[in-house]
Amino acid sequence: MFLRSSLRRIQHLTQRHIKTTVVASEMPDSLRSTLVSNDYRTVECNIAAQSKLHEGKFYTIPSDVKKQLFSGGGFPKQFENQLKTFTETCLMIRQPALELIQYIQNTDFSKPTTRYVIYGENGVGKSLALAHVLHYGYQNDFVLVHVPWVPNWMKRPKEIANASQEGFIDLPFDAAAWLLHFKNHNSKLLGKLDLKTSKDYIWSKRESTPAGSTLLELVEHGIARIKFASGIITNLLAELKLHATASRCKVMVAIDGYNAFFHPETRILTDNKQSVSPDRITLTQPFLNITKYDWINGVCVLVIDKIGMTEGFMESYMPRYLLGRTGFEHLDPFVPVRIQNYNDKEFHSCIQYYLDRHWIQKTPDGFEEQLKHMSNKNPYCVMQLTRSL
């Protein structure tokens, strides 16, 4: 009730000032540029060179890179829709992501793989922090192992089938879609690295992948023959660990909604209408294996999220609660990275960017303070509350 009345108040404030203010969308570009400062943007798109000087500013991801990295997912749906309206892809450089990237830059990759766990309340920008780190990995020649949103597999699989291993459920279409996502990310880099399979893989009496085949050939077989896609993911990730440990490549594992692997239940039902636990899904174990610390030349950046849980399991956003005992022990030790609401500088930059993109067109006196109070500077709330303005 308070949110509705406050939103009406903002809209009322804007209507009162329509006759005395110039609507931003009707301004000439030259006039608009004088009213909306440009200190919320930076031209520094080399993420390794971004520093505290760039905190709170937006940088642009080129459209071809955005298509390569995020065409298979990685941005929240509402943010993706916003990008279509803005006709560009910009991410804010925020302190937690910047600090995490600096940790990765200073990593001794001869040591066991470090696991970072991004956590925080709903809507604070956890997935966008992961996207920022993923872009860094792309720019710095990491082989990317990216899962855009694990709960999609556990709640909304495209199709299910009984796996060859008794008691397990296979998600063949989702597995093939992930292999295509992996190929889009890494095809150019894998072509340069020329990584080979270490042994023969037998899929059927007539189908096999001999030792010495390229990893791209292994991936393409899984895309073409979705029946074997889940098994190919298992072997692909095992091969990547071997190559990284042999110092032939660096691997970045980036998984959003990672806690869904340890959730007590899924929405997948057996033929007997029994709920299947995540550990009985064939896609689970390969991604648990690659997030262990028994290999080198890798880094794991994992997001845990209350939204990845089902009703009755959303009481806290803390890692110990969302991962449960099994998940927490699987990752321990890990480095926690907390994402919080905007600070004042980030909030102001966001408003300036929204003005520039015409997402906000009217800003009467007191608008910014009222919006700050209503949204508590939560990025998602700011986006939602300004939709109609």
Q: Kindly give the parts of the chain with pLDDT less than 70.
A: 1-38, 389
- Cα-based angle 354, 357, 358 (whole degrees, multiple of 5): 85
Which residue type sits at 73? G
DSSP string, 140-167: TTPEEEEES-THHHHHS-S--EE-SSTT
User: Which tokens go with 8?
Assistant: 């009406």
Pairing of strands 208-209, 201-202: antiparallel
pLDDT at 389: 64
Helix (H, G, I), strand (E, B) or coil at 225: coil
Q: Which of 71, 74, 65 is nearest to 47 (CA)?
A: 65
pLDDT at 351: 94
User: Which tokens go with 364?
Assistant: 């009467």
pTM of structure: 0.89
pLDDT at 165: 86
DSSP state of 353: H
pLDDT at 331: 97
pLDDT at 21: 34
Query: Where exactly are the structural domains of the chain?
Result: 35-71+87-93+341-388, 111-339
pLDDT at 10: 45
pLDDT at 304: 97
Number of helical H runs and strand E runs in the chain: 15, 11
